[in-house]
Amino acid sequence: MKASLVTFFTLFTIIYSGYNLQAQTHKPRFKAIAIAENGGGHARFDSAARIWLNKLAIDSNFTIDYISDTKPITKKYLKQYQLFIQLDYPPYPWQKEAQEAFTDYLKHNKGGWIGVHHPTLLGVFDGYPMWQWYSQFMGGIEFKDCIHGGTTALLTVEDSGHPALKNLPHTFNTKDEWYTYNKSPRPNVHVLASINEDTYIPKINIKMGDHPVIWTNDKIRAKNIYIAMGHFPELFNDDNFTTLFRNSIFWAVKMQKKRVN
């Protein structure tokens, strides 16, 4: 009897170990790279994003790596990734090689791109010149101002048929430090959602009129989407934001989404 029990547990251990090894070595569906600054005013959002993204990656079988500056970015480096997520990383302190690799990545459809909040901080900052190609990518705009401390605004979905906006209501409220620009990007991009500046709570006089906040540039071969929200970590408690982010990830890499609880 004892010999039988030993044999049973030995076989169980072998089978379990085999399943466990198979799970660990199962090929990921895709690889993503995310860039975010260390520290700064968006550190709490970036930390919350990392927790949420890591959970989504585990639940949906993909991998995600993180970098905090553009030094590693080369054409060779980006070959391994099917998705580039720009988490609150501005478009100006990029080294020339990184600029060229990123441009090549999008122009030749080597992977998808999601930009969150900071990518439209376009202009001359900290001694860095305007990256003209990136400005055109974002709709030919230049950063003008932002609502420090944030305000809640009513968003209106303008293209409910776009996969990134699936299962979102036609209108919903979101709080953020909304950016304003020298002009609306609308003539140069495909606007997916905009905000009504008359719905600001509290009321703020920093306005630009036509105010898109989610858009994609159809002139770029790679799938791409810009999301203006991305200042407050509480966004990851907002089902509308997480639905948008999740949809965007799997749309950008042409994958079927899987919900993270």
Mean pLDDT of the 138-151 span: 96
Let me know: does 83 contact 53? Beta carbons within 8 Å. Answer: no
Higher-scoring residue by pLDDT: 5, 63: 63
Cα end-to-end distance, the chain, whole Å: 45
CATH code assigned at 103: 3.40.50.880
Residue 228 in any domain: the answer is yes
Tell me which residue has tokens 């949809």.
Answer: 247
Specify if 81 maps to a domain.
yes
Rg (CA), the chain: 21
Q: Establish if 126 belongs to a structural domain.
A: yes
- The answer to whether 180 touches 212, Cβ cutoff 8 Å, is no
Per residue in 199-235, pLDDT (tens digit) is 999 999 999 999 999 999 999 999 999 999 999 999 9
pLDDT of residue 25: 52
Q: Please check whether residue 25 lies inside any domain of the structure.
A: no
- pLDDT, tens digit (0-9, with 9 covering 90-100), for 4-13: 444 444 444 4
CA distances from 259 to 52, 187, 203, 250 (A): 12, 34, 35, 11
Task: Give DSSP secondary structure letters for 97-110.
Answer: HHHHHHHHHHHTTS
Domain assignment of residue 244, given as a range:
35-252
Residue 225, helix vs strand vs coil: strand
In a domain, residue 4? The reply is no
- pLDDT of 103: 98
Residue % of the chain over a pLDDT of 90: 84
On whether the CB atoms of residues 215 and 225 are closer than 8 A, the answer is yes
Q: Is residue 172 part of a domain?
A: yes
Does 23 have pLDDT greater than 70? no
| Alpha carbons 135 and 159: distance in angstroms, whole number | 23
Please state the domain count of the chain: 1
- Please state, in angstroms and rounded to a whole number, the distance separating the CA atoms of residues 121 and 248: 21
Q: 148 φ, ψ to 5°?
A: -65, 135
- The answer to whether position 258 is within a domain reads no
For residue 13, is it within any domain?
no
Centre a 10 Å sphere on the Cβ of residue 16 and count the other Cβ atoms it contains: 10
